[in-house]
């Protein structure tokens, strides 16, 4: 393809591609990476010019379905969207996929099989690794020769969607970015990174909660649809009507769900949406309780009633006394499926496993026309206990016969602090994928690339059929740091050890303490308020020392040095965040705000210097921090 600084191949583009933007983008990606690897730019021409070209010495790389693929019998037409073929022959290579749509491949809904073929080729044959967005995060090993290798690959998409929510972490607007252009550039870099890791949405699973507007629609006329609370009333708990839970054993509810489905279903969203609102199951009517599996209903309801009366009304704790409601919710899904089956015998229902119906049902068998998005367990702190629980939930739900969507929240945790849960999350994802997965939907990519990079990299890589252990995937990441490889590994291993003593129990004790002291409490959004309990000055010093070692090792190599520098910026950002929160605590205590103002200024100035670097997502961090630091004087 390229040897001793000379191009040995020509890139040939389809004349009439399904989606010309996919082919153009795929060619750009291909050319850029080959040039980084060899210093050689491979020329690209449309197929119709091929005969007029006099390049007898050049091998040909055909991008996308074209005349040459037809003649060679490399047929992507019958592949599903995003599927692709890679074939090599005598002085020819075909990178040929099922493309479609009319949009740029930075958008999820575009079909981009040819681009994915290019990425697989570049990863396996050239050794490119996309650690984080932007140029510095792209690792391309330098080489004298790149050859095409021998290929006979047919890749079909395993998942309906491979999705990592990202928009939500930017929807807070410009926040700490100094211009819209900076936000745009950041966003563009992240979309490119996601595509390089083959995130795509052949079908989307954008079913919102099904009952958000039910109280508005039926609150006055049809109370029987709603939960019976321990106070004997059928109404929203705590007044937030979009979070009301339903009386899921009520036949009129099943009928209404099916009426809604028949009125609203589309070719893109064909399933019966049964997703409960964002709250635990709360109905204590006789019929719902009889659907549950538990040993002592009288004791459970008495405890729930007592907690209901005592609770300040967030509505999350008292239903826990009812135990697992998963059998109740599983029976509800079967009932809706039966109801919908009168109109379409293949009707598929979709719902969540969540809150007090996260655990697998113990007595109810489901079927493959039930889709469950499993949102349980995976969150900070990510401990052995977390992993065990997740795996047993996944296995249990899988055993019911339902099809599963991997929908964890783990990447929402820890704010911008250094965490390293890569080995746990990698092993858990591989475990889940071994037991069958229909789609993924991760909430959310907040984008703390410099302090959490290896974990994010592993989350992306383990969703692909890369056939590597998690340690081997991590080795790819650390390998990009050249002579500092071992030192960078030690640095991240240190962060793994730092959070090790934070058991769920210990973390809950901290959360409870903040709940008592602080009217706003502590949750994943305001993690930075308690971060100093884990990230003590000694811990942060040790982190800096380890990074210093890495910097010394990398000092002879420019790119490796800059990559270590990137990690150091993340650590500095975390340090300044800790200092600002400490100053804020001082201000709350004394009423004097000059120290806090100075610390906040330092943080702001530092972040201004990071705008082009992908170190942190400035929208996300500043929005969450301003919930505490902003608007108070």
Instruction: Report in angstroms how near the CB of residue 133 gets to Zn ion at its nearest.
Output: 48
Q: Which two tokens stand for residue 283?
A: 């109905």
Which residues, in sequence order, are CB contacts of 394 under 8 Å at separation 6+?
374, 404, 431, 432, 435
- Least CB distance to Zn ion at residue 252 (A): 11
Q: Is the CB of 130 or the CB of 215 nearer to Zn ion?
A: 215
CB-wise, 283 or 574, nearer to Zn ion?
Answer: 283
Cβ proximity to Zn ion: between 196 and 321 the closer is: 321
Decide: is 229 part of the binding site for Zn ion (CB under 5 A): no
Q: Which is nearer to Zn ion, 13 or 289 (CB)?
A: 289
Part in contact with Zn ion (CB under 5 A); list of ranges 240-248, 344-352, 449-457, 524-532? 240-248
Dihedral of alpha carbons 492, 461, 1, 33, sign: negative
Give the DSSP H or E segment for 350. Answer: strand 349-353
Q: Who contacts 197 (Cβ-Cβ below 8 Å, separation ≥6)?
A: 130, 460, 461, 463, 464
Positive or negative torsion for Cα 550, 553, 559, 565: positive
Cβ of residue 274: shortest distance to Zn ion, in angstroms? Answer: 15
Q: Which is nearer to Zn ion, 68 or 288 (CB)?
A: 288
Query: Tokens at residue 244, please?
Result: 């009301």
Least separation in angstroms between residue 290's CB and Zn ion is 9
- Choices 48-56, 139-147, 242-250, 297-305; region in contact with Zn ion by CB under 5 A: 242-250
Q: How far apart are CA 446 and CA 568, in angstroms?
A: 19
**What is the smallest separation between the CB atom of 212 and Zn ion, expressed in angstroms?**
19
Contact region for Zn ion (CB under 5 A) — 22-30, 50-58, 276-284, 572-580?
276-284
User: Which listed range, 277-285, 304-312, 507-515, 562-570, lies at the site for Zn ion (CB under 5 A)?
Assistant: 277-285
Using a 10 angstrom Cβ sphere, with 0-12 exposed, 13-18 middle and 19 or more buried, the burial of residue 73 is exposed
Element (H, E) at 13: strand 9-13
Cβ distance 431 to 469 under 8 Å? no
Binder of Zn ion out of 79, 112, 288, 371 (CB under 5 A): 288
- Residue 110 in the binding site for Zn ion (CB under 5 A): no
Rule CB under 5 A: is residue 300 a binding residue for Zn ion? no
Q: Which is nearer to Zn ion, 324 or 411 (CB)?
A: 324
Part of the chain binding Zn ion (CB under 5 A), chosen from 284-292, 335-343, 513-521, 577-585: 284-292
Distances 118 to 33, 35, 74, 113, 206 between C-alpha atoms, Å: 10, 14, 16, 9, 29
Nearer to Zn ion, 145 or 286 (CB): 286
Q: Which stretch binds Zn ion (CB under 5 A): 241-249, 529-537, 584-592, 595-603?
A: 241-249
How far apart CA 543 and CA 189 sit, in angstroms, is 28
As measured in angstroms, the least distance from the Cβ of 331 to Zn ion is 12
- Cβ atoms 96, 49 nearer than 8 A: no
State which residue, 194 or 253, has the beta carbon closest to Zn ion.
253
Q: How far is the CB of 492 from Zn ion (least distance, A)?
A: 49
Q: Do the Cβ atoms of 244 and 320 come closer than 8 Å? A: no
Report H helices in 165-226. 180-196, 214-218
Return the residues of window 15-44 that contact Zn ion according to CB under 5 A: none
Is 335 near Zn ion (CB under 5 A)?
no
Q: Which of 247, 458, 571, 610 binds Zn ion (CB under 5 A)?
A: 247
CB neighbour burial string for 523-542, b if at least 16 within 10 angstroms, e if fewer: eebbbbbbbbebbeeebbee
Q: How many residues bind Zn ion (CB under 5 A)?
A: 4
Residue number with CB closer to Zn ion (247 or 473): 247
285 binds Zn ion (CB under 5 A): yes
**604: part of which helix (H) or strand (E)?**
helix 594-608
Distance from chain centroid for Cα 146: 33
Cite the beta strand spans of 74-186 per DSSP E. 84-89, 92-97, 99-100, 111-112, 129-130, 138-139, 145-146, 152-155, 161-164
Stretch that binds Zn ion, among 183-191, 244-252, 376-384, 555-563 (CB under 5 A): 244-252
In whole angstroms, give the CA distance from residue 247 to residue 267. Answer: 29
Nearer to Zn ion, 325 or 429 (CB): 325
Rounded Cα gap, residues 130 and 123, in angstroms: 9
Among positions 129-168, residues that touch Zn ion (CB under 5 A) are: none
Choose between 249 and 440: whose C-beta lies nearer to Zn ion: 249
Decide if residue 304 touches Zn ion (CB under 5 A): no
For the bound state, the minimum distance from the C-beta of residue 311 to Zn ion, rounded and expressed in Å, comes to 20
Shortest CB 315 distance to Zn ion, Å: 16
**CB 51, CB 1: distance < 8 Å:** no
- Residue span binding Zn ion (CB under 5 A) among the ranges 8-16, 131-139, 193-201, 282-290: 282-290
Residue placing its CB nearer to Zn ion in the complex, 147 or 285: 285
Of residues 539-558, those binding Zn ion (CB under 5 A) = none
Identity of the residue, 124 or 305, whose beta carbon is nearer to Zn ion in the bound complex: 305
In the complex, least distance from residue 324 CB atom to Zn ion, rounded to whole angstroms = 16
Among 194, 283, 330, 450, binds Zn ion (CB under 5 A): 283
DSSP per-residue codes, 456-499 = HHHHHHTTS-----HHHHHHHHHHTTGGGHHHHHHHHHHHHHHH
The residues binding Zn ion (CB under 5 A) are 247, 283, 285, 288
């Amino acid at each position: 393809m390229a040897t001793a600084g000379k191009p040995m191949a020509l890139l040939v583009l389809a004349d009439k591609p399904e989606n010309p933007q996919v082919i153009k983008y795929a060619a750009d990606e291909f050319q850029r990476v080959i040039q980084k690897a060899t210093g050689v730019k491979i020329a690209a021409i449309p197929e119709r010019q091929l005969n007029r070209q006099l390049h007898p010495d050049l091998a040909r790389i055909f991008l996308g379905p074209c005349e040459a693929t037809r003649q060679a019998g490399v047929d992507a037409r019958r592949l599903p969207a995003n599927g692709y073929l890679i074939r090599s022959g005598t002085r020819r290579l075909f990178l040929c996929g099922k493309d479609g749509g009319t949009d740029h491949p930075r958008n999820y809904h575009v079909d981009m099989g040819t681009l994915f073929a290019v990425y697989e080729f570049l990863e396996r044959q050239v050794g490119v690794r996309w650690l984080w967005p932007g140029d510095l995060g792209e690792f391309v090993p330098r080489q004298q020769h790149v050859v095409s290798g021998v290929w006979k690959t047919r890749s079909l998409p395993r998942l309906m969607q491979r999705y990592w929510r990202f928009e939500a972490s930017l929807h807070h607007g410009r926040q700490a970015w100094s211009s819209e252009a900076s936000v745009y550039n950041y966003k563009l870099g992240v979309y490119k990174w996601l595509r390089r890791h083959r995130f795509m949405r052949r079908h989307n699973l954008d079913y919102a909660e099904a009952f958000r507007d039910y109280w508005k629609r039926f609150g006055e006329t049809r109370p029987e649809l709603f939960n019976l609370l321990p106070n004997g009333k059928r109404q929203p708990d705590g007044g937030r009507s979009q979070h009301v839970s339903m009386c899921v054993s009520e036949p009129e509810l099943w009928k209404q769900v099916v009426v809604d489905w028949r009125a609203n279903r589309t070719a893109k969203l064909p399933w019966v949406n049964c997703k409960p609102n964002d709250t635990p199951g709360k109905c204590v009517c006789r019929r719902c309780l009889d659907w549950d599996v538990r040993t002592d209903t009288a004791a459970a309801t008495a405890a729930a009633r007592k907690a209901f009366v005592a609770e300040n009304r967030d509505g999350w704790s008292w239903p826990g006394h009812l135990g697992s409601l998963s059998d109740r919710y599983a029976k509800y899904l079967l009932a809706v499926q039966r109801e919908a089956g009168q109109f379409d015998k293949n009707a598929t229902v979709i719902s969540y496993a969540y809150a007090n119906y996260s655990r697998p049902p113990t007595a109810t068998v489901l079927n493959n026309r039930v889709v469950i998005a499993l949102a349980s367990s995976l969150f900070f702190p990510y401990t052995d206990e977390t992993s065990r629980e997740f795996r047993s939930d996944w296995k249990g739900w899988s055993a019911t016969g339902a099809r599963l969507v991997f929908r964890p929240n783990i990447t929402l945790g820890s704010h911008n602090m250094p965490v390293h849960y890569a080995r746990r999350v990698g092993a858990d994802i591989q475990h889940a994928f071994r037991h069958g997965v229909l789609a993924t939907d991760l909430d959310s990519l907040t984008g703390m690339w410099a302090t959490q990079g290896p974990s994010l990299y592993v989350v992306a890589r383990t969703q692909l059929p890369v056939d590597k252990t998690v340690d081997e995937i991590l080795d790819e990441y650390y390998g990009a740091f050249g002579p500092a490889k071992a030192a960078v590994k030690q640095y991240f291993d240190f962060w793994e050890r730092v959070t090790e003593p934070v058991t769920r129990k210990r973390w809950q004790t901290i959360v409870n303490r903040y709940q008592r002291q602080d009217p706003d409490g502590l949750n994943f959004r305001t993690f930075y308020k308690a971060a100093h309990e884990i990230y003590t000055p000694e811990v942060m010093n040790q982190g800096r020392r380890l990074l210093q070692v890495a910097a010394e090792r990398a000092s002879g190599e420019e790119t490796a040095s800059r990559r270590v520098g990137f990690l150091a910026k993340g650590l500095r950002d975390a340090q300044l965040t800790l200092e600002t929160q400490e100053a804020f605590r001082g201000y709350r205590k004394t009423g004097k705000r000059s120290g806090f103002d100075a610390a906040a200024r330092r943080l702001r100035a530092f972040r201004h210097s990071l705008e082009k670097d992908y170190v942190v997502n400035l929208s996300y961090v500043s929005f969450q921090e301003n919930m505490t630091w902003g608007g108070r004087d």
